[in-house]
Chains A and B, each alone.
Chain A
């Protein structure tokens, strides 16, 4: 079993729709959770970072963590074509090693 599971999609939504992405994990030592965005032919860039259960908002993006269920989500409101990318969840335990999900590819249709 992989430590971090993420549905690869692909996910295709119309412009303006809400995009919902999620990951599950098996290692209860994971305490810090991130979402990275990776555009085609580019490296991942950090989008959101959270370390507690609950919601964190940043503009159109909301990260949600439920440690009791070992489940994290990313919501993108009012999605734009420029949001088309692969979204990777990632998490730390207490060391430096990031454990990534495989990424979900999102296409927002104009």
Chain B
């Protein structure tokens, strides 16, 4: 029944050790987004894909990369996690980018950096 699935739900990594977070969707939506949400803060858009077109937010650190090998899957790669990267990472999808295209969120992956 789940529409946007994120794995793992909890991820612990060491400082500087690369980590990959996974998102998959059963909605066949064109757009997939990655947000970073720190405690008691608003979700912050990192980047998004419209189909295969990648759009990076200007203030997203180079440490964060993404891949979308097909419509259903999207990955967030953190090349060298720092302590400041500990956060909830939310994946979202939408049919299009119009203002009536609702974004559907996954349950998030909580990343801990030791």
Contacts and interface: CB of A to CB of B under 8 A. Distances in A.
A35 interface: no
A2 to B, nearest CB: 8
Given A41-B108, A43-B90, A88 B99 contact: no
Interface residues of A, number: 27
Interface stretch (B40-48, B59-67, B73-81): B40-48
B34 interface: no
Interface string B28-72: 000100000000111101001000000000000000000000000
Consensus secondary structure, chain A interface: loop
A45 B102 CA distance: 10
A108 to B, nearest CB: 20
Interface range on chain B (Cβ under 8 Å from partner): 20 to 34
B105 A43 contact: yes
Contacts of B104: 45-46
A98 B97 contact: no
Contact of A43 (B31, B98, B99, B107): B107
A43 B105 CA distance: 5
A94 B99 contact: yes
A101 B42 contact: yes
8 contacts: A4-B42, A43-B105, A46-B104, A94-B99, A98-B103, A99-B42, A102-B40, A103-B40
